[in-house]
Structure 1
Amino acid sequence: MAHAKRSDVDSASLKASEDKPIKVDKWDGSAVKNALDDAVKKAFTEKFKYVESHKLMDGRLAISGIAVGAAMFALLWDYLHPFPESRPVLILCVNSYFILMGLLTLYTTFLEKGIFLVAIDRDPAGVDPDHTWKASSSLKRFDDMYHLFISFTDGVTNKTREAEFEKSISCWFDTNGTLLYDLFEPEVSKLHSSLLSDKKKK
């Protein structure tokens, strides 16, 4: 009897782990929200075959990285040039750090706006501009209502359309805290289809 190739076994194990139902503590709002957000990402990247863009996240990481770099430089400079000789550099680095933290707050508040997914719908022929999908969500503390907001920006007309829904998380989690993806995914697809229908009408 022929033995299965190791690569085949590994890929089968990986597929099984990916298909394994997501289980969370249903009393942990952050874990529940993250599980639903990940399910939205899965629908857009696996079902609709869109390409996830990380530019929005990269901007936040860049600001954070520069801020951490300023703090690390201050520590290094103070080590090489002990206080009070390092005082001017320390003041500059500390001020830079707080300014960057302020910029990060503005960035997350006015640019990210709770967006956890930016997906690009590329034209297969490469002729028309890319369409952009954005998804954001909210789940208030001690609340069971999950609010999903999706926007679609037409690459040709540059016009944006929006759709949203709000439902109790009990609709998609069983008593053990397992996410029922087969019940949640149609809700996401419904929003997706409504925005595409609006596109065809115009």
Structure 2
Amino acid sequence: MSEEDKPIKVDKWDQNAVRIAMDDAAKKVLLNLGYEENFGLIDTRLGICTTAVLFALLALLWDFLHPFPESKPVLILCVCFYFILMGVLTLHANFREKNVFLVAHQKDPVGTEPDIVWTLSSAMARYDKNYALTISVKDNTDNRTTSMTKCVGELFDESGTLLYEKFEQLVMGLHDSIAAGKKKR
């Protein structure tokens, strides 16, 4: 049995593990349709973090080469840029990413139409038993969104194994309902 075919088993009392397992399963369902994952949101986050770390390293190196009284202006500048970048990172995570765990592109087989962009996001409030999955699709004409909320107890068995076939049917039902909104020619 390959790593992908193993059933997803988590501690059902660990809410973060449950949400991540369901997110991974939803991602697997959509990517199995042949869509290509876009890492743009993650790359942006990594770029902001890398730049912030480079400023911290510059401050460390500059202070090593030029001891404190001499390095004071550079240290102040680096610390300011670091905290500004942490603010930008917080804004990016809260207003652009918004619990999005997958952005996938559905390529046009002919290559004449622009890609259809599928976005998956989830929410699970603290100490809540309900998992909310939202699927959005953006094509060249409009944006469509649909969502579902399910009790986690309906999707996991007693031992903490995800009932993948049942979850796959739910995700595919959402996918098909929103894909059916496309114009027929």
2:125 is the alignment partner of 1:140 = yes
**Does 2:114 correspond to 1:114?**
no
Flag as ranges the 4+ runs of structure 1 deviating above 6 A: none
Q: 2:113 aligns with which of 124, 128, 131?
A: 128
Larger Rg: 1
Match in the other structure for 1:43: 29
Determine if the alignment matches structure 1 residue 32 to structure 2 residue 18.
yes
For residues 52 and 148 of structure 1, what CA distance do their matches in structure 2 show?
18
TM superposition shift of 1:200: 3.4
Q: Which residue of 2 aligns with 1:193?
A: 176
**Equivalent pairs, count:** 185
Structure 2 residue ranges without an equivalent (≥5): none
Look up the SS of the partner of 2:132 in the other structure. strand
Q: Deviations over 1:5-31 (max 9, x none)?
A: xxxxxxxxxx62220111111111111
Which position in structure 1 is the counterpart of 2:156?
173
Aligned residue for 2:72?
Answer: 87
- Stretches of structure 1 that go unaligned for 5 or more consecutive residues are 1-14
Distance 1:58 1:17 in 2: 26
Aligned with residue 165 of structure 2, among 176, 182, 191: 182
Compute the displacement of 1:201 (Å): 6.0
Q: 1-side partners of 2:132 and 2:90: how far apart?
A: 23
After superposition, what is the alpha-carbon deviation per residue over 1:147-173, rounded to whole angstroms, capped at 9, x for unaligned? 00110001x31x100000001011111
* Bigger proportion of residues as helix: 1
Q: Separation in 2 of the partners of 1:19 and 1:69?
A: 40
Residue of 75, 79, 90 corresponding to 2:60: 75
Identical positions, percent? 53
- Per the normalisation by structure 2, the TM-score is 0.97
- Which letter maps to 1:119? A
TM-score by length of 1: 0.89
